Structures are given as C-alpha cells and as structure tokens.
Amino acid sequence: MSRATPVPSLRNEVAMSITEPARTDQASTESAHTDPAHTWPNTEYDPSPLRNVFESHFTYATAFERNTHRFGTRTALTDPPSGRSWTYAELGLVTGGLVAGLAERGVSVGDIVAYQLMNTPEFAFLYVAAQGLRAVSSPMNFRLAPAETAHILNDSKPVVFVYDTDTRADVEAALALAEHTPRILVGVGDGELVADSIRFDELIVDGAPSFRAPADGNVWDETSRLYTSGTTGMPKAVPLTSLNEVLTAHDVIMHFPLAPTDKTMNMSPWFHRGGNYCAGPNTAFYVGAEVVTLPRFDAGLVLDSVQEYQLTYVIGAPTNLERLADEQEARPRDLSSLHGIVTMGAPLDRSAALRYQSTLTKRIANGYGTTEAFWNTYLRPDDLPDAAGAAGRACLDDDVAVVRVFQDRIASPDEHAAKDGHEIGEVIMRSVKSGYAYMHNDAEQAEKFRDGWIYPGDLATWDENEIVTIIGRKDDMIISGGENVHPVQVEEVLAEHSDVADSIVVGLPDDEWGELVVAYVQPREGKLTDAAGAARELDAFCKASVSLADYKRPRRYTFVSELPYTATGKKQHFILKKQSSDDVAAGKFVTP
C-alpha cells in the first residue's frame, strides 16, 4: 500500500439551476400548465433551501458516510472465505483509501470503474469508492463469454477494469477482442495477473482519510451503470443516479422490512440489480445492516451460514430455494434466526410455496422487476399460498398497470386490460427507481421508455385487487396454427408432474403450423430416463390437465440436464428457440 496524498478537489462541472425568475406573461402561464418540469409554486413559500439540501445531501454517498460514524462499531461486512470482517468505521477507512488510490491514478468525475467479480469484499469496496469520486461504478457479469465482455468494454469505455485472477484466460481473450483497453487493469486474488495489471491492494492508500461524500455530488449524478442480464440478446447499458440508489434502498427497507440489526446473504450475484440492491451492499450499507458474502452458491453452505452467523434474510432465485429445501430436508439446520427469504426472477407456484414455508420459513416473499427499474410488484408473505404464482401488487412508490396488446401499435398507459385475471395484456410500470434510459441505444430507449412509463415486454393479467400475474415475454409467445400459446402456462402444467424438475417451452418453426409447441424438460434425478416413454407419459399428463387447451400441448419433447437462466433466475427462452431447429436435425426431440 502507498502512503496518503491529498485527494484533488472535485469540481462540479454541471451547473444546476435551483430557481428561475418569476414569469407573468400569458405564454409562461400556459407553459406552466403543460410542462411538469416548469410548474410554478402554489403559494409564496420558497422551497429552494429544501431543494438545495435534497439535491446535495440526499445522496447515497452521504448516507454511507453517515453510517461510518453513526454505526462505527457495528459489523458492516463479513467474508467467511477469508475469515475477515469490517466494522462500518473500518469499511470507511478501506473505501477512503481506495478513493485516494484511484484519485492518485487519475480517476475522477464521470470515469467508468468496471469490475467483473463475484460477491467478494472488493466488489463492495468498489461500489462505494466510485461514488466518493463522482465516478461511475459498473459491475459486470462474471459468467459472460469473452466476446460479451469485450462488447461491454467497447460500450462503456472504462478507465479502470478490475477482474478476478482466476478468470485471467477469459479476461485476456476479452481484452484481445475489445477495441477499447482500460488504462488501469487490476487483479483480485493470488493468481497470475494479466499483463500490465496491478494487484488490488496496491490501489488502497494506507493512512488515507475515511470515506467522505464528495462536496459537489448531487442526487442526479450517474453513480452506477449496469448491464441487463440478457433475456433477449446482448446486454444493454442501464444508468442509475444517486437518487435511484437511495430510493431503491428505501424500497427494500420498507418491504422486507430491513433494520440495522439484520444480517443478509445474497444467493444471487451482486452484479445484477436483484443482487446488490436486494439487501446486498446497496441496501445493507444504507440502513446499517451486516452483509455476509457468498461468492458461489452452495445450498449446504447457505444453511450452515444461517445457523452460524444467525442470518435474518437470504435472497435468491426460486431455483436457489428449491436446492435449499432439498438440503434442509436431507440435513436439517436451525433456521430460527430467519426473518424471511425473498426471491426474485420467477414466480412461485403453490406447491413450491407451501414446501418452502414448511421446510425453510413461513415468511417467503417474491418480487417482480427488471434491471431497468428494480422490482415493481411485491408478493408479501401474507399473500401466500393463496396468491402463489402471482407477482403481487405494485410496490409502495410505484404505479403498475396491465395494458391491452394491439397488433399495430403500443397501448397508452390508460388503455387497461380488464381486471378479471383472464385478459392478457402487457405489464408497465412508473417508478422512481429507474433511470429511464439505455446508454448509447436510442432505438431501444424509445421503445422501452414512453411518457414516464417503462414497457419491459412482459405479458400479464391482473385482477380486481390489482394483483399481477406474469404470463411470459411478448418475444417468447408461440403462434401455432394462428393461436397464441404462452410458454409459462405450459411450463406450469409440466411442473405439476412429480418427475419434472423444470422445463422451457418454445416454438419450433414449422411449415404447416407456423410454430410447433416443443418442450425442453429437465427431469428430477433418476426419473424419466426412457425418453420415448417419458414423452408419452408427459403427453398423457398434459391431455388430462384441465388447465391446458389441447392446442397448447407440446408436440415434441427433449430431455436435458440443465436449462439456460439469467443470473437472477429468469429463463432464457430465446436461446433454446434459436437452437431448436438444430436439435431437431440432430434427432434430439421425441414425438409422443
């Protein structure tokens, strides 16, 4: 570690107008009524002092700095693999040293700090420290192929790129493919470094002051740039402001609810919105709780950690909960410290919800959302098991609606589908947790963000209580013989078969029908081993179901050991749809 040197002051390069001179002409009055950004005060009260405090001191960096002394002796971060832990005061010193080290190397306002790491302490340090410089934190999926990593490097053009030395070969391949080479390369771990890299510890200045929120920072600063997990193709850049950081933390704190005495563990990777922001470092460090790291998911290790560290919340995808339930049934642990388990990425069916409530904890909750806007509906523990399979109601500060689907245009926000639980429409949301943009992608931005609403492309129903149920993605819908088939409906029926662990249903191109409904089925261990017999059994099961019309029944089956998911547990139908024709040619499908 190097010795401390003064951190250069940060100059606010964007002048923000706080007040405007009064206008009394008729044109200005008319403008005030039509443009929400230029509304006039309703009384003589001048809110400028409040606005100044809000914009300058309601930042995430300010909240973190506050906790370094307010909760200085409380544990902030525990890393079981290394046996280390940090109090909030110690975390302030580490992140302050990292701020100083990055500044010494010329990192400053607006620079992108990219990192491709598992759920490790270094991830948390970088997330906080970037905000101390008014730089932009940009975590990347550590599971990406080198070409995908290269795509992000070219798109974001980071000044800093931090990687795990265990992935050196992939990093070298990505750098060779990328047109942009980050000026500062940093390796985390004891493995061999990529050429021209430094070790992470060399970035931390020993003896530097504790973390301080930048004096010229404000709530409109871009603080994070995330990349979508890719249910439809190459990742897109999603910018978030400091205000988004704060309001996301507030949302989670309200919905769990989360307190400074809680201890959390994410089974989902932190690089995704549903990881860091769902009681990961973002939320826990804001409220003053403790984060316990989990670099790789292991069901036994998670349950051991609940027992050893007295965890109060664990967070992950439904697939994680399935493995936890299997492990708990095989080797029970004391899970009495849990206040709840929160899951995201996919809905919970009734049988799964009942099993998890019986085996793990009564307090199971489920959130539905996107990288762009975090979660926007929340299924509370009290809603289960009656509302199992649904995504819940709108979150407290969000507006959520299901609008009609038209062949020739996009519905406006007030063109609602019937609240009858049957008419399928597109779910849309309006949320202060979204940055309402894709960086460097104007076409996608115009398609997804309309009139203050987000159109994520998910199909849904809602009922008279505005409980939303996600049906699937518009892009995943199968049109067979002119009829719409929603994969989720077929997958839910297959899930009711005791020998089926999971499935993905897609449309196979067909000259006669347009598309044939076909199923990729992941059997439970030791089950459905005879493909021909299994296909006949599942076909008979679907025919007997009162929940599935005959035209929606899969016409072909193939049996696989695993299915493609995003990091947050969302099925990637597009991958299997793309490869289905090749799988037919290779003779992998069986016709009942």
Q: Residue 565: its pLDDT value, please?
A: 86
Q: Residue 48 and residue 41: Cα distance in Å, rounded?
A: 11
Any idea what the Cα angle at residue 120 is, between residues 116 and 122, rounded to 5°?
70
Q: Residue 511 and residue 507: Cα distance in Å, rounded?
A: 12
3-state secondary structure of 156: helix
Q: Is 160 contained in some domain?
A: yes
Phi, psi of 185 (to 5 degrees): -110, 135
- Please determine, for residue 15, whether its predicted confidence score (pLDDT) is greater than 80: no
| Overall average pLDDT of the 12-34 stretch | 41
Phi, psi of 526 (to 5 degrees): 80, 5
Q: Is 307 contained in some domain?
A: no
Phi, psi of 501 (to 5 degrees): -85, -35
Comparing 567 with 236, the larger pLDDT belongs to: 236
pLDDT in tens, 346-402: 778 888 899 999 999 999 999 999 999 999 999 999 999 889 889 999 999 999 999
CA 184 to chain CA centroid, nearest Å: 27
Q: Is 538 contained in some domain?
A: yes
Which of 217, 251, 286 is the last residue in one of the domains? 217
At which residue do the structure tokens 């959302």 appear?
369
pLDDT in tens, 123-154: 999 999 999 999 999 999 998 889 889 999 99
Nearest to 571 by CA among 435, 482, 475: 475
Which of 217, 242, 259 is the last residue in one of the domains? 217
CA atoms within a 13 Å half-sphere pointing along the CA-CB vector of 575: 13
Q: Residue 1: its pLDDT value, please?
A: 52
Beta-carbon count within 10 A of 500 CB: 22
Q: Is 107 contained in some domain?
A: yes
Nearest to 40 by CA among 23, 18, 25, 55: 23
Task: Give the CATH number for residue 148.
Answer: 3.40.50.980
Q: Of all helices (H) and strands (E), which one includes residue 326?
A: helix 318-330
- pLDDT-derived band at 229, boundaries 50, 70, 90: low
The listed range with the strongest mean pLDDT (10-19, 21-30, 330-339, 350-359) is 330-339
Tell me whether residue 262 is exposed, middle or buried, using C-beta atoms within 10 angstroms of its C-beta: 0 to 12, 13 to 18, 19 or more.
buried
Q: Is 562 contained in some domain?
A: yes
Question: 398 Cβ partners below 8 Å, 6+ apart?
Answer: 373, 376, 377, 429, 430, 431, 432, 433
Q: Of all helices (H) and strands (E), which one includes residue 160?
A: strand 160-164
* Token pair in block for residue 520: 């990729």
3-state secondary structure of 41: coil
Q: Is 408 contained in some domain?
A: no
What is the reported pTM? 0.83
Q: Residue 38: its pLDDT value, please?
A: 63
Identify the domain containing residue 560 by its residue range: 477-585
Lowest-confidence segment of 69-78, 173-182, 565-574 by average pLDDT: 565-574
- Please determine, for residue 5, whether its predicted confidence score (pLDDT) is greater than 70: no
- Please determine, for residue 265, whether its predicted confidence score (pLDDT) is greater than 90: yes
Q: Residue 65 and residue 101: Cα distance in Å, rounded?
A: 18
Distances, alpha carbon 398 to alpha carbons 105, 141, 377, in Å:
41, 28, 8
Give the chain's radius of gyration (CA, Å). 25
Q: Residue 226 and residue 370: Cα distance in Å, rounded?
A: 11
* Token pair in block for residue 51: 């606005």
Q: Residue 35: its pLDDT value, please?
A: 54
Comparing 203 with 7, the larger pLDDT belongs to: 203
3-state secondary structure of 434: coil
- Please determine, for residue 13, whether its predicted confidence score (pLDDT) is greater than 90: no
Q: Residue 568: its pLDDT value, please?
A: 65
Task: Give the CATH number for residue 481.
Answer: 3.30.300.30
Q: Is 428 contained in some domain?
A: no
Q: Residue 188 and residue 122: Cα distance in Å, rounded?
A: 8
Lowest-confidence segment of 7-21, 302-316, 407-421 by average pLDDT: 7-21
Q: Residue 402 and residue 460: Cα distance in Å, rounded?
A: 7
85 close to 98: Cβ distance less than 8 angstroms: no
Lowest-confidence segment of 69-78, 253-262, 512-521 by average pLDDT: 512-521
- Please determine, for residue 282, whether its predicted confidence score (pLDDT) is greater than 50: yes
How many domains are there within the chain?
A: 2
- Please determine, for residue 571, whether its predicted confidence score (pLDDT) is greater than 80: yes
Percentage of the chain beyond pLDDT 90 is 78
- pLDDT-derived band at 37, boundaries 50, 70, 90: low
Beta-carbon count within 10 A of 47 CB: 11
485 close to 552: Cβ distance less than 8 angstroms: yes
| Overall average pLDDT of the 87-115 stretch | 98
* Token pair in block for residue 572: 């990637």
Q: Residue 476: its pLDDT value, please?
A: 84
- Please determine, for residue 463, whether its predicted confidence score (pLDDT) is greater than 50: yes
Which of 199, 217, 235 is the last residue in one of the domains? 217
Q: Is 540 contained in some domain?
A: yes
- Please determine, for residue 575, whether its predicted confidence score (pLDDT) is greater than 80: yes
Q: Residue 230: its pLDDT value, please?
A: 53
Any idea what the Cα angle at residue 492 is, between residues 488 and 494, rounded to 5°?
115
- Please determine, for residue 6, whether its predicted confidence score (pLDDT) is greater than 80: no
- Please determine, for residue 164, whether its predicted confidence score (pLDDT) is greater than 60: yes
